[in-house]
Structure formats: C-alpha cells, structure tokens
C-alpha cells in the first residue's frame, strides 16, 4: 500500500503546495517531503502559511518569520510566516518613512488604521507573494520551495488573493488604505502579477491535495480541486494519509470497522479527483514529531510491538468524563453562547453539532452556526430537526449584504460618480473582514435569549476574527469615553455567564499544544476557556489490535496533561465504530461514556 517513493515527489517543480482539511497531516507530509528532497541533495525551503504553524515543533527548533536552517537536515531551511511579525514589519515599512515628517497624532492614527486583522492578512499575503515572485531574490538559491498551508478554506482565500488584488488594482486603486501609500502600488501590482503567473504555471507549481480516508476529507479536496483549477492551478496530486493497514484478523471490532469504513470511502472517491495521481500513506504507530518519526512517514510500517502491561492498565483506568456532563452545565443557564474552538481536523463541527442537537432534544431552541470557510455542518447533520436553526456566516454572502447596506446608506446622497467610487472601494478584499465581523456580532447578540452554538474556523482564522472583535471594542471604548455604559461583542465573550468557550482537541501532541496556545491567547484577551473536549480517543475506545493499541498508549500522556494541567473541566469522546454523520449519530455522542473494561 505505502510507497517509499511517492509519485508527487517524482520530478517535482520548484513550488509545491500541500493543502487539505485540517488534521489530515499536511504538516507531516510537507516536512517528510522536504526531508526526502534535502537528503537527495536538493536545497529546500519549507514555508508554513498557517497562522498557527507547528513546523518548528516537528523539527524541534524555533523558526519564526526568518529563513532558518534546520541543523539536523543539511540543505533544508524553514520559514513560518508569522502573522503578527509580518504585520509589524508591514506597518513599519509604511509608517517608518513618514515618522518625523508628520505630526505624532497623524502617525498614531495611521498606526491604528493598520492594527486590524485585515492588515495582518494583507501582510501575510505580501510575504507569501514575495516568495513566489521573489523580487529581491531571497529564495533564488533554493531548488524547491514547499508550502505547508493553513486548512483548506483559509488556503483557498490565500491562493485567490493574488488574483483578487491584481483585479482590484487593474480596475482602479479605490481605497488602498490596507495596501499603504499609493506610490507603492505599482511595485506591489507587479509582484502580485508575478505570483499569479507562478501559481498558474504547471511547470513551476504543483498542488498536493492531502486527505484522510473518510468521505468529508475526500469531498473537501474535490471541492478544492475545482476551485483552484479555476484559477489555473491544474497540476494536482492526491495523498491519502494515515490509512489503516489490513488487520491481521477480525478480533478487534474497532479496527475492523475503521478499516472497512476507510476502504468504502476510498472506493467511492469523488469523480473529479478519481483520475488524479494518488499516493496512500499507511498509519504509523507513533505521532509524527521529530526527525526520526517524520523521515519514516513514507516507509512501509513496521509491525508494532506489544503494549506494556502498565500501559494497558492505564488505558483501562481513564476517568469517566462524558460530554453529557458538560451539556448538563450548559443547559442550566437556559440560554447563552457556546463556541467550539481548536485546531483544524479535531472535530469541532461534530462536537458543536452534538451539543446543539442534545440541547434541542432537551427542549430548547438552538441556533447552530459556523464561521469556518470550509463549513460542513449540513453534511454532518444530514437532516433537519425542529427547533434547530442551522446557518453559516458565509464571507461572500456577508460581504454582499454589507456592500448593499453601505451603498444604500452612504451612497444615498452621492451623485453617480460618487456612488461608483464608493462601490469600487467596497470591492477591496478587506471589506470581507468587516462584513464577517458584523455577522459574527449579530449572532453573539442573539445568544441573549436562546442557545447559540458556534463551530469556529481553525485556530488562526478564529484568532483573526477575535482580533477584529477586540479592535472594535477598543474603538467603541475610545468614542464613548470614561463612565459611559455600553456592551460590545468582546465584553459578551469575556463574560462566563454569557459565553462558554469549549476547546476541542485530539489526544495528540500537536493539537493539545495548539489548544494550549489558543487558551493562552484567549486569556490574554480576557476570555477564559470553560472546558476541553478530547475527541475521537482511541484510549477511551480500548482497542485490542496492536497498531491501534500502541496509538492508544501514545494518547495517555496528552490526556493526563489536559485533565491535570490545562482544563478546569473536560470530556472524553471515544472513537466510534461508525462515522458520526446524521442527527441520530451526532446526538448519541452526547451520551457516549468511556466505560472501564477488563484489561485485555
């Protein structure tokens, strides 16, 4: 099944992008690919465009926003496009030349205008396009540049931005506040055009669509295939990661069920990607952290060793912590906001849906919504339920609504030329930030009288949304002055009586580290996470197959870390033998209990 020489690494072009649904192993595949090419004598730069990159963690060193050599892998360097560092450098490029020439108050005003999440996105995008166009020959010495991207929705947005900005500039400069002084636009326009050219050239760019062997992940890369083919990225490969090898026998019901479920998904791959070159990578017994583990990812899996007796006892003694207990506490308030947050691929959508369905089944009206650009709520629920409203904060729809509202209000007193200028300004990609924030604020307000459950986008995208919420709060506070009475969306998020933040994770090193980092970020913003949910736990499911048993043992350290160090309250959801799709299946997750059983 597995291959030591993946087809997507055969005669690779200069640029290789790895994208897919969160949690499918993009970073592991990208890091293993970079190592393979570097050990073949190539000079390789591995770039992460994920706002919550963990490339540094995989290699065991601090990377950040500068090109950093990986000492243990000669020929390999890495770069993490850190949004905050990129934004700070971007602001300085704009403000620095006029500092001392303009009054301090005006400098402060410019700096404030460039402090929002829109500037952060544009700054990160600037870094990304500069690597593709390479106007300063910063990456000229590398044979290959590999991009480990953010989860799919964010990546599509990033890859479409060069075309969006090029079109925006071609059709008129409009409101260029996010891009800086008008004098710099011609240079940026040329760089963006160079990025578009590189992306659409199959001799220079290859797209690797990474998935797991499940219907949702395969359906998502099929959608990604269509969207990115439309912008000229036609040279595409598929990698299905973490495929369970054929069980040696059928004595473990969980292993047998997972194997047949994955094989059924692989047998019904969407037609649009069925003909693409495809590699299957076997599930390994260890987490992909460290050079030794990552370098073995493309090798055939070795038979796992038996778990130690002490490990088996520890698995059997996992504390009972059902999701139902958390829902009891949520329900006691009668209404409020529940936000499920975490790394992509940990099951936020499933957990959010399970909480919402359980509350409806207990007699409440519930609004379940998502801010994820790659939302899958309707696929997860696969049906309708009385008293459950399901929606999506769609960036395009929110932007169109916002533009129409602004044109109707501000454009009412303008002449034709003025309305045309206003309409052009509102075509800026930055308009989307404001529109999504306003839709998010409306949903928060609704939670004053009913339960609202939000399935958020993966961590980095969510942090940008919360940053916009904080910027709005600071602006309102400045305008209202001391002593004024007001309530902003941020204040509702900070009030534990109104908002319960649920951090969703898997019992693996990277998701737990990222959730812990998110918890720290939230606390700095005055928002205290309420509970953690450890989803799809193998240890709680107590498998007997050797490979799954070894992976279950590997979970124990992370489960102990969550319940002992990180969470005030937590729940554990065992990995199920059936995929949690449909109202009944999703609702049953709220009642699943990791029941102790005799040691095998």
* Helix (H/G/I), strand (E/B), else coil: 450: coil
Please give the structure tokens belonging to residue 75: 């020929």
Q: Which residue has the higher pLDDT, 549 or 129?
A: 549
Burial of 280: CB neighbours in 10 Å, binned 0-12, 13-18, 19+: middle
Neighbours of 581 (CB within 10 A): 19
Would you say residue 331 has pLDDT above 90?
yes
Pairing of strands 68-69, 76-80: antiparallel
Q: 547 with 304: CB under 8 angstroms?
A: yes
Nearest-5° Cα angle at 246, 245 to 249: 135
CATH topology of domain 323-393+448-588: Rossmann fold (3.40.50)
The rounded radius of gyration (Å) of the Cα atoms in the chain is 24
Q: 373 with 153: CB under 8 angstroms?
A: yes
**What order of strands is seen across the sheet that includes strand 278-282?**
68-69, 76-80, 44-48, 144-148, 15-19, 205-212, 236-243, 278-282
Q: What's the rounded Cα separation, in Å, for the pair 512 and 244? A: 23
Catalytic residues: 23, 25-28, 50, 510
Q: Which residue has the higher pLDDT, 156 or 589?
A: 589
Give the torsion sign (CA, 65, 69, 73, 75).
positive
Please give the structure tokens belonging to residue 12: 């690779």
- Which residues neighbour 201 within 8 Å (Cβ) at sequence distance 6 or greater? none
Q: What H or E segment, with its residue span, contains residue 536?
A: strand 531-537
Ramachandran assignment for 387, one of left (phi > 0), alpha (psi -120 to 50 degrees), beta (any other): left
Look over the chain and give the mean of its residue pLDDT values, rounded to a whole number. 78
What is the distance, to the nearest Å, from the Cα of residue 550 to the centroid of all Cα atoms in its chain? 27
* Helix (H/G/I), strand (E/B), else coil: 338: strand
Paired strand residues for 206 = 16
Q: Which residue has the higher pLDDT, 472 or 167?
A: 167
Whether 323-393+448-588 and 7-302 are alike in CATH topology: the answer is: yes
Return the pLDDT at 296: 83
Query: Can you tell me the mean pLDDT for 137-160?
Result: 70
SS (H, E, C) 30-59: HHHHHHHHHHCCCCEEEEECCCCCCHHHHH
Q: What H or E segment, with its residue span, contains residue 236?
A: strand 236-243
Return the pLDDT at 137: 80
CA distances from 557 to 60, 506, 530 (A): 19, 12, 22
Pairing of strands 15-19, 144-148: parallel
Q: Please list the helix, strand and coil fractions of the chain in percent, rounded to the nearest 5, in that order.
A: 50, 15, 35
Q: Which residue has the higher pLDDT, 489 or 481?
A: 489
Burial of 577: CB neighbours in 10 Å, binned 0-12, 13-18, 19+: middle
Would you say residue 164 has pLDDT above 90?
no
Q: 86 with 120: CB under 8 angstroms?
A: yes
Would you say residue 530 has pLDDT above 90?
yes
Q: What H or E segment, with its residue span, contains residue 353?
A: helix 348-361
> Which alpha helices (H) appear in 393-545, and where do they start and end?
395-410, 416-425, 431-446, 459-480, 489-494, 509-524, 538-541
Would you say residue 264 has pLDDT above 90?
yes
Q: 240 with 281: CB under 8 angstroms?
A: yes
DSSP letter at 280 equals E
Return the pLDDT at 281: 93
Q: Which residue has the higher pLDDT, 170 or 71?
A: 71
pLDDT tens digit sequence for 46-92: 988 776 667 777 787 878 778 889 888 899 998 887 767 777 777 78
For the ranges 109-113, 128-132, 186-190, 308-312, which has the lowest average pLDDT?
Answer: 308-312
Q: What's the rounded Cα separation, in Å, for the pair 137 and 128? A: 14
**What order of strands is seen across the sheet that includes strand 451-455?**
388-390, 366-370, 451-455, 336-341, 499-505, 531-537, 570-574
Would you say residue 126 has pLDDT above 80?
no
Segments making up each domain of the chain, as ranges: 7-302, 323-393+448-588
Return the pLDDT at 174: 44
Q: What is the pTM of this model?
A: 0.72
Would you say residue 177 has pLDDT above 60?
no
Query: Can you tell me the mean pLDDT for 237-247?
Result: 92
pLDDT tens digit sequence for 363-373: 999 999 887 76
Would you say residue 2 has pLDDT above 50?
no
pLDDT tens digit sequence for 555-599: 888 999 998 899 989 999 988 888 888 888 887 888 755 444 444
- Which residues neighbour 313 within 8 Å (Cβ) at sequence distance 6 or greater? 599
Q: What's the rounded Cα separation, in Å, for the pair 109 and 486? A: 24
Q: 233 with 252: CB under 8 angstroms?
A: no
Among 174, 180, 178, 176, residue whose Cα is nearest residue 420 = 174
Decide if domain 7-302 falls under CATH 3.30.390.10.
Answer: no
pLDDT tens digit sequence for 13-26: 998 988 887 778 88
Return the pLDDT at 485: 45
φ/ψ of residue 65, rounded to 5: -90, 25
Determine what percent of the chain is predicted with pLDDT higher than 70. Answer: 74
Q: What's the rounded Cα separation, in Å, for the pair 306 and 547? A: 9
């Amino acid at each position: 099944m597995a291959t030591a020489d993946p087809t997507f690494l055969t005669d690779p072009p200069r640029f290789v992008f790895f994208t897919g649904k969160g949690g499918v192993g993009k970073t592991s595949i990208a890091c293993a690919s970079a190592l393979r090419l570097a050990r073949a004598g190539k000079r390789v730069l591995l770039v992460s465009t994920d706002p919550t990159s963990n490339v540094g963690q995989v290699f065991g060193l601090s990377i950040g926003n500068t090109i950093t050599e990986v000492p243990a892998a000669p020929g390999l360097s890495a770069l993490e496009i850190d949004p905050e560092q990129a934004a700070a450098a971007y602001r300085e490029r704009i403000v620095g030349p006029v500092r001392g020439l303009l009054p301090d108050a005006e400098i402060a005003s410019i700096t404030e205008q460039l402090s929002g999440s829109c500037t952060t996105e544009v700054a990160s995008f600037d870094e990304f396009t500069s690597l593709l166009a390479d106007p300063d020959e910063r990456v000229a010495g590398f044979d290959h540049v590999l991009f480990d991207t953010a989860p799919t929705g964010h990546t599509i947005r990033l890859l479409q931005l060069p075309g969006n900005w090029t079109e925006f500039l071609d059709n008129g400069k409009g409101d260029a506040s996010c891009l800086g002084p008008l004098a710099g636009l011609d240079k940026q326009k040329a760089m963006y055009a160079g990025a578009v050219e590189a992306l659409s050239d199959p001799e220079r760019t290859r797209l690797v669509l990474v998935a797991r062997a499940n219907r949702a992940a395969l359906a998502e890369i099929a959608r990604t295939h269509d969207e990115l083919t439309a912008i000229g990225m036609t040279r595409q490969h598929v990698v299905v990661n973490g495929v369970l090898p054929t069980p040696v026998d059928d004595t473990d019901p969980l292993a047998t069920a997972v194997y047949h479920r994955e094989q059924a998904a692989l047998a019904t791959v969407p037609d649009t990607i069925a003909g693409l070159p495809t590699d299957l990578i076997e599930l390994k017994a260890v987490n992909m952290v460290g050079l030794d583990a990552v370098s073995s990812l493309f090798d055939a899996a070795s038979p796992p060793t038996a778990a130690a007796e002490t490990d088996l006892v520890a698995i059997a003694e996992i504390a009972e912590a059902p999701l139902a207990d958390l829902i009891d506490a949520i329900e006691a308030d009668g209404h409020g906001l529940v936000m499920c947050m975490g790394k992509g691929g940990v099951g936020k959508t499933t957990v959010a849906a399970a909480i919402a369905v359980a509350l409806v089944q207990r007699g409440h009206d519930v609004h379940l919504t998502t801010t994820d650009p790659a939302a899958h709520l309707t696929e997860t629920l696969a049906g309708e339920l009385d008293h459950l409203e399901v929606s999506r904060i769609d960036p395009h729809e929110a932007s169109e609504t916002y533009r129409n509202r602004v044109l109707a209000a501000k454009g009412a007193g303008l002449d034709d030329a003025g309305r045309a200028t206003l309409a052009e300004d509102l075509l800026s990609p930055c308009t989307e930030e404001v529109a999504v924030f306003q839709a998010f604020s409306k949903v928060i307000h609704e939670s004053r009288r009913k339960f609202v459950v939000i399935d958020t986008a993966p961590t980095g995208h969510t942090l940008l949304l919360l940053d916009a919420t904080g910027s709005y709060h600071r602006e309102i506070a400045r305008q209202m002055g001391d002593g004024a009475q007001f309530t902003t969306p941020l204040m509702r998020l900070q009030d534990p009586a109104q908002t319960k933040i649920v951090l969703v994770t898997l019992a693996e090193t990277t998701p737990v580290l990222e959730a812990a980092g998110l918890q720290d970020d939230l606390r700095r913003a005055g928002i205290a996470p309420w509970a953690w949910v450890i989803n799809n736990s193998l240890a709680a499911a107590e498998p007997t197959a050797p490979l799954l048993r070894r992976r279950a043992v590997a979970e124990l350290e992370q489960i102990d870390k969550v319940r002992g160090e990180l969470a005030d309250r937590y729940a554990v959801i065992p990995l199920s033998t059936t995929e949690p799709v449909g109202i009944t299946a999703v609702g049953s997750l709220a009642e699943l209990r990791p029941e102790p059983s005799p040691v095998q």
